[in-house]
Amino acid sequence: MRIGILNSGGDCPGLNAVIHGVVGAADQLGWEVIGFKDGFEGLLPPGDYKVLKPKDTIGIVKLGGTILGTTNKGNFAAKIGKGNVSEVPAEIVAKAKRTLDQLEIRALIIVGGDGSLTTGLQLYREGWPIIGVPKTIDNDLQATAMTFGFDSAVSTVVDALDRLHTTAESHKRVMVLEVMGRHAGWIALWGGIAGGANVILLPEIAFSTDKVAEVIRQRDAQGYHSTLVVVAEGAKLPDGEIVTLNENTGGEVRLGGIGEIVAHRIEKLTGKETRACTLGHLQRGGAPTALDRILGTRFGVMAIKLAEEGRFGRMVSYQAYHVDSVPIEDAVNQLRVVEPDGEMVGAARAIGISLGD
């Protein structure tokens, strides 16, 4: 039997671990694995792929990125808006199907996030033998307690906060670290708690920079002259707060991301020297942590088990120390965001972290 695998969407530490798991487990069954390059694009005729044998995966578990390449653009990119999902056009699906048929692919494993799995669901409903593997560093997919890549991203945030801590203390400054998380603040919340942040600003909790400034003043009064603020890239200033980075224009000038804006506001309100740092794609690159290597490998192995059992239209899922599966439709089109009244936000508050509200 021959099966296919592709990575789709943004890259993420641990993708190679999934490939490693898939190829290893498939080889045990005597199956051949075809790795399609650059996401779904590799399916388009004449087909851009390579046969993956166990020898091709030696040592890849420790590598960041993906040996197959990936893309979040192209012919298959599902346009996900609020309640607004565009389908892949029928002629593109038909072309890709020809490649699948010619290669006699009996199962196609899609390693992707919400958009890619939504495409996977469309293809499954059109009769393709699809198996999904959840991937997102943001950890915001429904129906899985965790995705690989998240732990690596959080580790990068913690490392950055450890470094910012010493320079903040030396200069008695406020340091604002902007981290990834467009819709959900999991990276900010986990990274902020583990990295000793004093303030964490999330997309899910309305905050004001006046409140943040108040926290910083109080800390100063208590003798803590430096403050670490973590802000998720998707966090929004309340409507009432005008952002004027260029005082001469008098209008709103959005030169930077939310981190720069918050830093600018804090400096203005408190008079304390404040610096912003945007972590960006450093969170996506580099070697996966041990947890992500293991999770990715187990996800790959489970994907092969689903293929062996002929259970298509399902997504591998991590549930309380156990890797299992759920219907893909349970996972897509409704992101898992931080619960403002949840236990984890409560834990942050309990140790004196401000959410800026």
CB of 237 to ligand F6P, least distance (A): 18
Query: Has 181 been labeled as part of a binding site?
Result: yes
Q: Which is nearer to ligand F6P, 49 or 186 (CB)?
A: 186
Q: List Cβ neighbours of 51 (8 Å cut-off, separation of 6 or more).
A: 32, 33, 34, 35
User: Which single residue brings its beta carbon nearest to ligand F6P?
Assistant: 180
Query: Has 138 been labeled as part of a binding site?
Result: yes
Write out the residues near ligand F6P by the rule CB under 6 A. Answer: 10, 72, 136-138, 180-182, 233, 284
Q: Which is nearer to ligand F6P, 138 or 267 (CB)?
A: 138
Structure tokens at 157: 């945030």
Going from the C-alpha of 144 to that of each of 107, 113, 318, the distances in angstroms are 22, 12, 5
Active-site annotation holds for 138: yes
3-state helix, strand, coil in the chain (%, to 5): 40, 20, 40
Q: List Cβ neighbours of 147 (8 Å cut-off, separation of 6 or more).
A: 12, 134, 135, 136, 137, 139, 141, 295, 318
Q: Choosing from 138, 140, 151, 292, which is the catalytic residue?
A: 138
Structure tokens at 37: 């390059």
Q: Which is nearer to ligand F6P, 66 or 354 (CB)?
A: 66
Q: Which is nearer to ligand F6P, 79 or 268 (CB)?
A: 79
CB of 136 to ligand F6P, least distance (A): 6
CB of 12 to ligand F6P, least distance (A): 8
Query: Has 116 been labeled as part of a binding site?
Result: yes
Distance in Å from the first CA to the final CA of the chain: 56
CB of 357 to ligand F6P, least distance (A): 23
> How many CA atoms lie within 13 Å of 212's alpha carbon, on the beta-carbon side?
34
Strands (DSSP E) contained in 158-245 are: 174-179, 199-201, 227-232
Query: Has 233 been labeled as part of a binding site?
Result: yes
Q: Cα–Cα distance between 289 and 61 in angstroms, integer?
A: 10
Known binding residues: 10, 73-74, 113-116, 136-138, 173, 180-182, 233, 275, 281-284
Known binding residues for Mg(2+): 114
Catalytic residues: 138
Known binding residues for substrate: 136-138, 173, 180-182, 233, 275, 281-284
